[in-house]
């Protein structure tokens, strides 16, 4: 993986520090235990997809680039909430964690923010990609969110080049 930017690690720490008290999130009928999910994807470039029960969605890469405020885009907010529901449906896959180190190359770290504390698991990226892991569905959602964020960033840049505001 490429070098990790201090901007990235600062943003990731901020995402991990979100708490239900500071964000006014409370359990709902469809999300009783989970209020946030971070998925750190350790492939060629490190990416983190963060989604919260209130629709807040962000994507950051290890180089320091990223997109925040994606929850304002309706389809991304829906994808994020579906990703969180999928994680909550598979909480038996997770164990309590005290620390959340970045994943090694080819690995994916799931960090789940629950009202009772943090849970986590490391998974093999190849198994997730092939659909051979119980967490393949939320992983696929994270990859779709990343691609959609890339499309939005590219469209925004193209609009700026054309002189649009």
Give pLDDT tens digits along the chain (165 positions): 568 999 999 999 999 999 888 777 888 888 899 999 999 999 988 999 999 988 888 999 998 887 776 667 778 888 898 999 999 999 999 999 999 999 999 999 999 999 999 999 999 999 999 999 999 999 999 999 999 888 887 877 776 666 655
Per-residue pLDDT, 164: 56
Res 7: pLDDT: 92
Domain definitions of the chain by residue range: 6-161
Residues 91-111 as b/e (b if ≥16 CB within 10 A, e otherwise) read eebbeebeebebbeeebbbbb
pLDDT at position 44 is 86
DSSP, res 3 = P
Q: Do 40 and 22 meet the contact criterion of CB atoms below 8 Å apart? A: no
Which pLDDT score, from 0 to 100, does residue 71 have? 60
Q: What is the CATH number of domain 6-161?
A: 3.30.1560
For residue 152, the model assigns a pLDDT of: 83
Residues 6+ apart with CB under 8 A from 163: none
In 3D space, the residue among 111, 112, 1, 129 whose CA is nearest the CA of residue 62 turns out to be 1
CB atoms within 10 A of CB 160: 10
Greatest distance between any 2 Cα atoms in the chain: 51
- For 31, the token pair is 């999300």
Q: What integer pLDDT is reported at residue 46 of this predicted model?
A: 94
Sign of dihedral through CA atoms 11, 27, 24, 54?
A: positive
Residues in the chain: 165
pTM value is 0.89
CA separation for the pair 88, 53 (Å, rounded): 11
Q: Phi then psi for 157, rounded to 5 degrees?
A: -65, -40
Cα separation, 26 vs 35, in Å, equals 8
Which pLDDT does position 2 carry in this prediction? 60
């Amino acid at each position: 993986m490429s070098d990790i930017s201090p901007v990235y690690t600062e943003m990731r720490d901020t995402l991990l520090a979100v708490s239900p008290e500071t964000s006014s999130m409370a359990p709902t009928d469809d999300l009783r235990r989970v209020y946030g999910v971070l998925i750190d994807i350790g492939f060629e470039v490190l990416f983190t997809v963060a989604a919260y029960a209130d629709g807040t969605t962000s994507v950051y890469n290890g180089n320091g680039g990223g997109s925040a405020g994606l929850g304002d885009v309706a389809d991304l907010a829906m994808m994020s909430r579906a990703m969180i529901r999928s994680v909550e449906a598979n909480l038996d896959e997770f164990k309590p964690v005290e620390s959340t180190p970045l994943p090694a190359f080819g690995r994916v770290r799931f960090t789940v923010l629950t009202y009772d504390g943090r849970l986590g698991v490391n998974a093999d990226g190849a198994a997730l990609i092939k659909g051979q892991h119980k967490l393949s569905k939320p992983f696929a959602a994270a990859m779709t969110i990343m691609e959609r964020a890339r499309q939005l960033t590219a469209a925004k840049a193209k609009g700026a080049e054309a002189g649009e505001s």
